[in-house]
Structure 1
Amino acid sequence: MLRALLLVLLLTFLLMPESFDPILRPLVQQNAPAIYNQGSLLTLTLLHLRTVAIATTAAILVAVPMAILVTRPIGAEFLPLSRGLVNIGQTFPPVAVLALAVPTLGFGEKPTLVALFLYGLLPIFENTLTGLTTLPPSVMEAARGTGMTGLQRLFKVELPLATPVILAGIRLSVVISLATATIGSTVAAKTLGEVIIAGLQANNLAFILQGGLIVGALAILIYDTLSAVERVAARRTGLNVR
């Protein structure tokens, strides 16, 4: 019920932000706008989500195959190298990645996508690796005993059983990216960071609060949605995930 109420409040605010003016008015100076008026909050939210979705999809397409490769005999020796690569995003702060990417890619969404992509690799890679290397030995032996090939075991046994753990990594990556994407507005990317930056520049607490609360609400709702998907996948595999 609380999550449903949060969703209703979020949609109401994005579609009819002016209705919240009386609540936010005490937070601003006299004659200053209480509702962000330099663009559409709904549009910025959708663009923010699009940026996160693109970066996360790219991270999945790289991290999952990489983890699969290093769990095969042919690619086991590349595990240290792979771990080093996916740790780059955690080693360099997103702000530093943006600073390095802007001279090459210019201002806008592209540097932000690079930063979010690098930042999102580690949780997806590590969870996929964990999911594939902690499978019940009895199940794997049974799969081999039925005469399955390596590819058949991968797609029919290993990946289905590892799906809940992989989804947990994706969930973590998405939530991290939702918060981190706000810094993209420092290089002219269209994200909810625009609202926060505008509030800082104008000393407008209401703007800062709006940007932060929208990102926080999105993080909670998406976290819960992905957690529900994870639980469904766990039940199908016979695992118990809270």
Structure 2
Amino acid sequence: MSWSLIIRLLVLALLIAFLVAPESFAFLLQPFTKIGQPAIYDRGTLWGLTLSHLAITFAATSLATLVALGLAILVTRPFGAEFLPLSRSLANIGQTFPPVAVLALTVPILGFGTAPTLVALFLYGLLPIFENSITGLTTLPPTVTVAARGMGMTGLQRLVRVELPLALPVILSGVRLSTVISLATATIGSTVAARTLGEIIIAGLTASNTAFVMQGGLIVAVLAVLIYDGLSALERFFVARTTKGSSLSPR
């Protein structure tokens, strides 16, 4: 077991311990509070807020992945190539309108809570996945695709058994970037009453309690690093797997 893995596991264990029993770490945060202020956020459980934050992030990223990958598959087929400009424009919407602006536009329609945050994160996460999916599907080794056609595979068989498996590492790279961006951006969801870790940061800023701001920010930062590393490891696994070659025999 490498030292880097041991350090990551130790950090994960410390994070879980902090979320489950934050009072045990109060002495570390107490110096950052004013007289009479609590060191640990006490208007909700850190564990519950973290799970809610992760659920919102992964729900938005999963939906963005389905839509972005579907659009990428469409525009990389001969019959859908003409829709590339339109699809790229749709994927760019989230980058054109900041998440705060999306929240301002969606709250009057969807109300306060999780829904506006999901919409903002979904739109913001489309572009990295869409562009990486297109790159992965359009930069496949020509010899592999020609061999697949020569073996009589249908278009669907080539997509499912050849193109997507070979493009998966590049697609995962886009998903990784989108996930980390959404994880950090989800904190603003608390401004519209979504249950995220931004609730702790906002409470700290409102009460001038640096300890609250630190614990909310640190939890998000540690989660981002751990998730980034985990998805990077998954990406490396698929890279190693695809380099061994893929079976092209039709079923």
Give TM class, smaller chain: over 0.9
1:10 aligns with 2:15: yes
Shift of 1:6: 0.9
Corresponding residue number in structure 2 for 1:65: 70
1:221 aligns with 2:201: no
1:116 aligns with 2:128: no
The alignment partner of 2:24 has SS state of helix
Give the root-mean-square deviation of aligned CA atoms.
0.7
Q: Write the deviation string for residues 5-59 of structure 1: whole angstroms up to 9, x where unpaired.
A: 1101100100110011111110000111011111100000000000011101110
In 1: Cα distance, 2:62 partner to 2:13 partner: 27
1:195 aligns with 2:210: no
Q: Write the deviation string for residues 169-223 of structure 1: whole angstroms up to 9, x where unpaired.
A: 1010100000000000000000000000000000000000000000001101111
1:44 aligns with 2:83: no
Residue 106 of structure 1 aligns to which amino acid in structure 2? G
Shift of 1:130: 0.3
Identity of aligned pairs, percent?
Answer: 69
Residue 45 of structure 1 aligns to which amino acid in structure 2? T
Corresponding residue number in structure 1 for 2:35: 30
1:74 aligns with 2:79: yes
1:85 aligns with 2:90: yes
In 2: Cα distance, 1:220 partner to 1:173 partner: 13
**Structure 1: which 5+ residue stretches go unaligned?**
none
In 1: Cα distance, 2:92 partner to 2:64 partner: 13
Residue 88 of structure 1 aligns to which amino acid in structure 2? I
The alignment partner of 2:112 has SS state of coil
In 2: Cα distance, 1:183 partner to 1:23 partner: 26
Q: Write the deviation string for residues 77-96 of structure 1: whole angstroms up to 9, x where unpaired.
A: 00000000000000000000
The alignment partner of 1:34 has SS state of coil
**Structure 2: which 5+ residue stretches go unaligned?**
1-5, 245-251
1:157 aligns with 2:162: yes
Q: Normalising to structure 1: TM-score of the pair?
A: 0.98
Corresponding residue number in structure 1 for 2:152: 147
In 2: Cα distance, 1:58 partner to 1:51 partner: 11
Corresponding residue number in structure 1 for 2:176: 171
Residue 76 of structure 1 aligns to which amino acid in structure 2? A
In 2: Cα distance, 1:31 partner to 1:19 partner: 18
Shift of 1:164: 0.5
